[in-house]
């Protein structure tokens, strides 16, 4: 059974109206993957930022508006690229299966 917070990460204290939020969860066979790394790559594929996933497989970026690639690196898995569009006032939720 997944131990993730229902609805994903809490947005308490985040002024979504002023931020472009990209967040999500990394799973394997429906279970959260803690200790994976998620990279934020710009439109040219250049590295911008990286965060580790929490014990519940969650991650979050505050990105500039536009198109981004999330590259997920997890133990015993091939890298997974996911496309996402970030916009101010919107929380872009991304589910990544490795």
pLDDT in tens, 22-46: 999 999 999 999 999 999 999 999 9
Tokens of 86: 């970030």
Tokens of 53: 């996933």
Is residue 14's pLDDT more than 70?
Answer: no
Give the predicted TM-score (pTM) of the model.
Answer: 0.84
The hierarchical CATH code for the domain 17-97 is 2.60.40.10
Region 5-13 average pLDDT: 62
Where does residue 21 rank: exposed (0-12), middle (13-18), buried (19+ CB within 10 A)? buried
Per-domain boundaries in the chain = 17-97
Backbone conformation region of residue 70, classed left if phi is above 0, alpha if psi is from -120 to 50, else beta: beta
The helix/strand/coil state of 98 is coil
Is residue 6's pLDDT more than 70?
Answer: no
pLDDT in tens, 42-58: 999 999 999 999 999 99
What pLDDT does 5 receive? Answer: 43
**Could you tell me the sign of the dihedral formed by the alpha carbons of 60, 7, 3, 9, in that order?**
positive
The b-or-e profile of 53-77 (16+ CB within 10 A means b, else e) is bbebbbbbbebeeeebbbbbbbeee
């Amino acid at each position: 059974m997944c131990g993730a917070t229902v609805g994903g990460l809490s947005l308490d204290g985040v002024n979504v109206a002023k931020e472009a939020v990209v967040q999500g969860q990394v799973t394997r066979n429906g279970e959260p993957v803690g200790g994976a790394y998620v990279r934020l790559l710009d439109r040219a594929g250049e590295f911008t930022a990286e965060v580790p996933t929490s014990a519940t497989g969650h991650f979050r970026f505050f990105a500039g508006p536009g198109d981004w690639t999330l590259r997920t690196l997890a133990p015993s898995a091939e890298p997974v690229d996911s496309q996402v569009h970030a916009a101010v006032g919107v929380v872009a939720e991304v589910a990544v299966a490795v």
